[in-house]
């Protein structure tokens, strides 16, 4: 896992939210942006805060586990 301050994120990242990620107020989301070799994840309520970077295989294992596959 890579912890990276948002200020170092490139403007090239295109963030998106999952349609399955929402709370009662619609603001409980994570956002994901992918670039070759890294899946970036951040809190949608704190877009200026830090993001986490995961290897694509690690992220795929997490998503599979979280979705019960």
**21-69: per-residue pLDDT in tens?**
666 665 668 899 999 999 999 988 888 889 999 999 999 999 899 888 6
Alpha-carbon gap, residue 64 to 61, rounded angstroms: 5
Determine the pLDDT at residue 23.
62
- pTM exceeds 0.85 for this model: no
What is the per-residue DSSP string for 9-43?
S-TT---EE-TT---TTS---EEEEEETTEEEEEE
Domain limits, the chain: 2-18+28-66
């Amino acid at each position: 896992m890579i912890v990276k301050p948002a200020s170092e994120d490139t403007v090239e990242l295109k963030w998106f939210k999952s349609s399955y990620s929402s709370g009662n107020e619609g603001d409980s989301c994570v956002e994901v942006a992918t670039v070759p070799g890294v899946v970036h994840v951040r809190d949608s309520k704190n877009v200026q805060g830090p993001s986490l970077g995961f290897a694509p295989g690690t992220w795929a294992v997490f998503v599979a586990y979280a979705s019960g596959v």
